[in-house]
Structure 1
Amino acid sequence: MADAFRAHCPRCDGVRNCIIHGAFDQPWHVEDGRNFMEGQTDHKLVQCAGCETVFYYKSSWDSEDCDYESHPVTGVPISAYPKTIETYPIPEKKSHKPDWIWSIGQIDPQLYRILDETYKAREINSFILASVGLRTAFDRVTEFLKVDVNLTLEQKVSALLASGFIGETEANTLRVVTDAGSAAAHRGWAPDEKAFKVLIATLEQFIYRVVVTGKAALDLTGVIPPRPTSPKKKPKPAP
């Protein structure tokens, strides 16, 4: 029967009871006549007893990384070698994607791909690439809204304002998003996590309103019955 032990499951993202399906211990040492160093790497193929995910587990130590602890009975100092634990795949990060992002794929697949890569960059804290993604996503939305592709980003914001897609306040906030994306693309500027949250929230609100709910509202055109026409009043006969 397979041995059971506890390890951090990458899918559950927590310590779980796991079943060992295979194990290999690899002790090692090196010496050059004057110096000596040793350690061990333990490899395991394990399966979470809860979600049944199979993953690789590695535990390693070496004599260069040594702590000293007191024996619990005698008080004599003893060597302790901390272990480094690694698992693969790494624990899955919680997605930053809003639920409505999946509907973008049916409305505009290209915009969905841009947003998907933007969120992936955010998840690994690559805020330069993520900021460029925001700028690219905004550009794609303006194309979706039939704004002239030859305009600059600043001109596109003004065109959205003139056509009634956005108001003055939203135009100002979108200019900040596009300026941030341009700074990232051309000058390598990277916002911190707090600043990026503000930038992406601004763009998400814009996209949700003009693409997701805007498309949904247009789809209701054939559902809502038209307003009945009032019968024309007959002119009164002349006295």
Structure 2
Amino acid sequence: MGEVSKFFTIQKCDNKSHRVLCKECARETLHSIVSSYLESGSDDCGGGNTIDWHCDNQIIQCLGCETVSFRTISTCSEDTEYDHYGPCHPETIKYYPGRAEGLRSIESYLLPFTIQQIYKETILSIENEQYVLAGIGIRAIIETICKDLEADGRNLYQKIDSLVGKSIVTPEGARFLHKLRVLGNEAAHEVKAHNSMQLELAMQIIEHMLDGTYVIPARVKSVF
């Protein structure tokens, strides 16, 4: 077994601001690095081959809402890409709690509890890159909405179409929901992981429906 060497240093705030996606603000905001734990090491694989790695573990704070979160920025000599200047080692950035740039936060407390529950779990799946579960969750949201609205039909295909007759969605909206139904079927039956862009767009379609069906009517009722 080859030798392993490891080093670490601890740094305080760097007195600089960094543009980072904030989960609470739902957009990019300026953050400060409160503290940083730097790790680096080298693994001897034998035969003169070594793997070098580096990881910067950061406590970061939004300068707007002041929310504190955690970020890691890591590189590894095994991960190699090529650009105009030759080989380079790309950074892998992860956030805790997770976040996704294309998602926004609707007033989920105005949703029926069952819809609220599956909506929150699906958002968490996308933010934490659990894309198969997110696809299944998107289909489950549509099924739960149809059940809550007492949609007619023996299967989800028929229930989505019945929402048009109830004037809940437009024919174009129903076509979008059928695309999401297929996406969910592929995730559930073929274990297909759709990419983050597809899933975020799917959630935007669902959120538009939730806004019109539940959130806005609830807000109008409370205000007027």
Contact 2:151 2:160 in 1 (8 A): no
Question: Are residues 1:39 and 2:39 paired?
Answer: no
CA RMSD of aligned residues (A): 3.2
Q: Which has the larger radius of gyration?
A: 1
Q: Deviations over 1:17-38 (max 9, x none)?
A: xxxxxxxxxxxxx8xxxxx846
Q: d(CA) in 1 for partners of 2:197 and 2:103?
A: 16
Q: Which amino acid in the other structure matches residue 178 of structure 1?
A: R
Aligned residues: 168
> For 1:194, which of 194, 197, 212 is the aligned residue?
197
Question: Are residues 1:62 and 2:42 paired?
Answer: yes
TM-score, length-scaled by structure 1: 0.57
Q: Which amino acid in the other structure matches residue 138 of structure 1?
A: I
> For 1:98, which of 104, 111, 116 is the aligned residue?
104
Q: Which amino acid in the other structure matches residue 98 of structure 1?
A: R
Q: d(CA) in 2 for partners of 1:62 and 1:183?
A: 41
Q: Deviations over 1:133-184 (max 9, x none)?
A: 1111112222332336x84211210221111111211111111111211121
Contact 1:47 1:55 in 2 (8 A): yes
Higher percent of residues as strand: 2
Contact 2:103 2:204 in 1 (8 A): no
Q: Which amino acid in the other structure matches residue 156 of structure 1?
A: K
Q: d(CA) in 2 for partners of 1:59 and 1:38?
A: 13
- In structure 2, the partner of 1:87 is 57
Question: Are residues 1:137 and 2:117 paired?
Answer: no
Structure 1 unpaired stretches of 5+: 1-29, 31-35, 66-80, 224-239
Q: d(CA) in 2 for partners of 1:163 and 1:52?
A: 50
> For 2:150, which of 135, 140, 146 is the aligned residue?
146
- In structure 2, the partner of 1:3 is none
Q: d(CA) in 1 for partners of 2:99 and 2:194?
A: 21
Cα offset for 1:94? 4.3
